[in-house]
Chains A and B, each alone.
Chain A
Amino acid sequence: MTVSNPVRGTTDVGSAASGGGAAGSHPVRRRHRRRLTGSSFTPWLFLAPAVLIFVVFKYVPMVEGIRLSLYQVRPFLGDLWVGLDNYVRILGDERFRDAIGHTLVLAFGQTIGSMVIGFVLALLLEGHAKSLWFVRSAVFLPVVAATAVIGEIWRLLFFPAPEGFINSVLSIVGLGPWTFLDSPDTSLASVMFVGIWKGAPYDMVLILAGLAGIDRQQYEASALDGATTPQRIRHVTLPALRPVITILLTLASIRGLRVFTEVYVLTGGGPAGSTDVWMTRVFTVAFERNEIGVASAGSVMLFLITFALTVVVQLYRRRREAG
């Protein structure tokens, strides 16, 4: 991977420098090194702001979330210990189970869709020409636009009447009119489409970085062996991209599970709950039904699943690298 090289180079420089100091052949230098390391108080002074913010706004809420998930939260009356009751209740809720299903479908579809489109884009736009650089920058724009803005744009473009923007475009090629976000049959697919539209250019950038790291001699060798382009993609390009693809899969599946803004803006979970996902459901239970304990149970479950997913992928990667 091209990216890791400068970093590895750095570690070498760092260890060489400290190695020189630790050798102890120059007493003067050693004294300075000890002074440089300084009192053990200084690093904590520099770390204090970060630690303070993390503790107050990440760790306290995390612990508080786990605590709340075990209580029935009653403002002014005091919380009531209910054990795992909240978990039982949220898992027993049919709308929540549906929401988990939608989340999985959405996460899976968006992950695979973004990666396939991103790969196609990367193949199309690979190269050093200035014009290609321009095209790549333009294609990347959806990634930097805020999700809420993109949601509003697509809501208007998806206008379900035959005169809607996308429907007029579709009618040119003899398709449509489609209902998009307005019908339970097409709403989830439409949300997925918007997610892929925003996600694919991001994947493209990472795949392009992977493509740039492939040794050109491998292509030349395969060309000399008479391999066709599809064979070359399959046997040279794809195996070389495996690390990038693993990273993309991990990032995208976690991002997919915690999806909130897209759905909240595009459909708010409707119509008829057809696009309700994990976090929109939790949000509704917490802030509209005011069942903080039950909603916290839902959040804690999502946290455990993303955490487990991250750990499993990390272990798998480490084992692959070791073996």
Chain B
Amino acid sequence: MSVADQCDTALGWSTGRSAWLSRSIRIVLSVGAVLLFTGPLITVFSGAFDNNPDPTQLSVLPNKPSMINFEEAGDKGIWSYLANSLIIAGGGLLLQLSVSVFAAYALARKKFRGQALMLLLILTTMMLPEEVIAIPLSLVIGDLPLLHVSLKGTLLGVILPLGAWGFSIFVMTEFMKEIPMELEEAAKVDGAGEFRIFAQIILPLVKPALGVVAVFGFNMIWEQYLLPLIVADDPSDYTLTVALLSLRSDQEVGPGIVLAGALLALVPSLVVYLSLQKSFLRGITTGAIKG
């Protein structure tokens, strides 16, 4: 086996056919890693479909498969929690994407007075942990400045604060900077107006970036916990993730029903991740290195 062969990875894993020992060690350890990191998620699938509410009986495969957990969870309002979550995710994401694309267009394609200040303003919001402003935010949502309207107990109260996200704006700005100015200038010469340039030249070119920003935005919104918790006026306003805790505290509810809820909260994030995996991993590396 050649030296170069062993220099492909930091540990020098051999890939040759003769290196059966190294290969089998690696296979065993990889299987172990997969079990450790996906096993707990698999128990959710089996537990949710298992007609056995005993928390000590979790297993990899359901013992008595049935849909009873979902029926009972439905009586506890799980579908309306799911609807809350989906409306917030859809509305929040749509708003977040539009706001980011607009802001990035100004930051990447224009030069104007106060640009540096704007960048600083956005960067500061990224350094400001959402948790530390939770208390005053709950007061602001209860009484919007100037308008004096309360968004407490409304889905809009969760959607609006998620509408602008520094990370998303920055990733979008980086992508938009890559588009050559000449394209825009040519369109100007042809008499295209500002919004036509934006809609017909810039937007189509940043489609790949929209994928990255969308998958991250979804994840960020789905992960929200404290915000829907403080916006809610009563438990019927909860999102699915927040409702899991109140479901569990309900004496009549067994773990099977909580797991049914957990499964419903898990599936959308898995679907989004598995379908946009490339964008996701690319975003993690760029995002972390940039910010």
- B160 to A53, Cβ gap below 8 A? yes
Name the CB-closest residue of B to A64: B136
Please determine whether B10 and A211 come into contact, CB atoms closer than 8 angstroms: yes
* Closest B residue, CB atoms, query A35: B188
- Kindly identify which residue among B135, B188, B285 contacts A3, using a CB–CB cutoff of 8 Å: B285
Supposing A144-B219, A148-B242, A154-B40 touch, asked if A65 and B133 sit within 8 A by C-beta, the answer is: yes
Contact indicator A57/B160 (Cβ below 8 Å) = yes
Are B164 and A146 in contact (CB-based, < 8 A)?
no
**Once the chains bind, are B55 and A159 in contact (CB under 8 Å)?**
yes
Range class of the B interface residue count: 35 or more
For B226, list chain A residues within 8 Å (CB). Answer: 260-261, 283
Q: Kindly list chain A residues whose C-beta atoms are within 8 Å of the C-beta of B34.
A: 135, 138-139
Of B8, B55, B259, the most chain A CB neighbours within 10 A belong to B55
Interfacial chain A residues near B269, Cβ < 8 Å = 144-146
Chain B window 161-186, contacts with chain A (Cβ cutoff 8 Å), 1 for yes, 0 for no: 10110000100001001101110110
Q: Does A123 contact B (CB under 8 A)?
A: yes
Interface residue B76 (Cβ < 8 Å from any Cβ of A) = no
Contact segment of A14-22, A82-90, A104-112, A181-189: A14-22
Q: Is the CB of B286 within 8 A of A3?
A: yes
Question: Which residue from chain A places its CB closest to the CB of B25 in the assembled complex?
Answer: A124
Bin the interface of chain A by size: 35 or more
Interface 9-residue window, one of B62-70, B98-106, B205-213? B98-106
Residues of A within 8 A of B290 (CB): 7
In the complex, what's the smallest C-beta–C-beta distance from A282 to chain B, in angstroms? 7
Instruction: Tell me whether A152 and B135 are in contact (CB under 8 A).
Output: no
Residue in chain B with minimal CB distance to A250: B288
B window 274-291: CB within 8 A of A: 274, 277, 280-281, 284-286, 288-290
Contact A153 B43 (CB under 8 A): yes
Which of the residues A125, A126, A216 comes within 8 Å of B33, measured between beta carbons? A125
CB distance from A291 to the nearest CB of B (A): 10
Q: Within residues 14 to 46 of chain B, which ones have a CB less than 8 A from any CB in chain A?
A: 15, 26, 29-30, 33-34, 36-38, 40-41, 43-44
Leading 8 A-B pairs by shortest Cβ distance: A163-B56, A219-B7, A148-B241, A53-B164, A43-B106, A46-B106, A50-B103, A61-B136
Given A3-B285, A300-B132, 7 new contacts (CB under 8 A): A38-B194, A43-B107, A68-B136, A141-B273, A155-B248, A306-B132, A310-B127
What are 17 A-B contacts defined by CB distance under 8 Å? A21-B181, A38-B194, A43-B115, A56-B160, A125-B33, A126-B9, A135-B30, A141-B38, A148-B265, A202-B284, A220-B3, A223-B3, A248-B288, A251-B288, A260-B226, A283-B226, A292-B135
